[in-house]
Homo-oligomer: A and B are copies of this chain.
Amino acid sequence: MSSTNIMRIAVDAMGGDKGPAEVAQGVHAAARASNSRYLLVGDPVVLEPALARLAPVCANIEIVPALQVIEMDDPPATALKRKPDASLVVAARLVKERKADALVTIANTGAAMAVSLLSWGRIKGVDRPAIAVPLPSLKGTVVLLDAGATVDCDPNNLYEFAIMGSIYAEQVLGIPNPRVGLVSNGEEEIKGNALVKRTHALLLQNLQGHAPFHFIGNVEGRDIFRGNVDVAVCDGFVGNVVLKTGEGVAEMMLQMLREELNSKMWMKPLVAPLRPSLRRVRTRIDYAERGGAPLLGVNGICIIGHGRSDHYAVANACRAAERAAQHTLIETIRQRICDTPPPPPEPEPRGA
């Protein structure tokens, strides 16, 4: 956190499907509504004219030059060494050197993970990082983690994800005392694969004395989208499958709706006035709208936006980064993980 309490947000301007001008527009929108300082990292030849087109001039946006770009097919693990002047690497370095309080990127997720992990290391006490994705539900935003950072997990990893996800939901999304659920194939305690059963038993045992989060038990995929849980915890493989299944079903339904409502000429005058409502449904379910996913567990704030983010989504990701920095997210995670007694010897899972 900056000593003057004005947050400094480093934004990797060169990532994303829509190009740097779109990122600049998103940052401009966020900067107008805030007194944070924005460090827009990328090629000045592209970024200066992009910013110049946006009115009014925002004095709190500064361009930081970085002339390399990490492409989608660059191997993430070597990006840091091979492209030291890439916009993502420069932005991460600003955070490491305490010249910025948070990093926002819509570069590829693998590169964002590798660069922030290698530049900053992990928070002391955290074993593995997790990507916490905000998902839509009938009752507001639900945090799903891990969405792909750590595909093979042990119960202790999931336990740490629960702590980190709970803190993020409370501090950044403003959900008081968030309900934490374990994603399983049924709500009953005996349901789950070996990992989930072991984790469930560990959580119940751990929570008897000291409760670092509000555990409500197993939840199913349906519970996430009904909003019956605030933080849904799973390994990175399962989380990624949930995320992409959700995107796939949403995409399929929108396409079917389009086909049905465009199938007859006589429908057009009826559908036209309804378009704003149909668009609103689309907006409500669009993950890209929800403002970026934090990579939790690394020793710095890193908010990763969807590759197809538009300026609106970039602005949301910037606001999430500001809130995370204001709330000293990293300090809270470090303290909560340190304060939590190490897990006891693993109990026998019930139903085993």
Contact = CB atoms under 8 A, between A and B. Distances in A.
Nearest 7 interchain pairs by C-beta: A221-B245, A221-B244, A225-B248, A185-B240, A222-B248, A193-B237, A260-B277
Nearest to A135: B249
Given A245-B221, A260-B280, A253 B253 contact: yes
Nearest to A219: B244
Contact of A247 (B221, B244, B280): B221
A184 B252 CA distance: 19
A232 to B, nearest CB: 10
Interface in A306-345: none
Given A152-B193, A185-B151, A249 B267 contact: no
Given A151-B193, A152-B193, A193-B151, A223 B248 contact: yes
Nearest to A272: B270
Interface of A: 136-138, 148, 151-152, 183-186, 192-194, 196, 220-226, 234-238, 240-253, 255-257, 260-261, 263, 267, 270-271, 273-274, 277-278, 280-281, 284-285
Nearest to A273: B270
Nearest to A279: B260
A243 B246 CA distance: 10
A187 to B, nearest CB: 11
Stoichiometry, copies per complex: 2
Contacts of A223: 248
Contacts of A246: 221, 245, 248-249
A72 to B, nearest CB: 12
A230 to B, nearest CB: 15
Contact of A136 (B185, B251, B252, B270): B252
A245 B193 CA distance: 17
B256 A284 contact: yes
B270 A274 contact: yes
A198 to B, nearest CB: 11
A278 to B, nearest CB: 7
Contacts of A240: 185-186
Contacts of A220: 241, 244, 248
Task: Choose among A225, A252, A277, A281 the residue with the greatest number of B CB atoms under 10 Å from its CB.
Answer: A252
Given A193-B151, A257-B281, A281-B260, A225 B249 contact: yes
Given A151-B193, A238-B241, 4 more contacts: A152-B193, A185-B240, A185-B241, A267-B277
Contacts of A253: 249-250, 253, 281, 285
A185 B273 contact: no
Nearest to A277: B260
A301 to B, nearest CB: 24
27 contacts: A136-B252, A183-B241, A185-B244, A193-B237, A220-B241, A221-B242, A221-B246, A222-B244, A222-B245, A222-B248, A222-B251, A224-B245, A224-B248, A225-B245, A225-B251, A226-B252, A238-B238, A241-B242, A245-B246, A246-B249, A249-B285, A253-B253, A256-B285, A260-B277, A260-B280, A267-B277, A270-B270
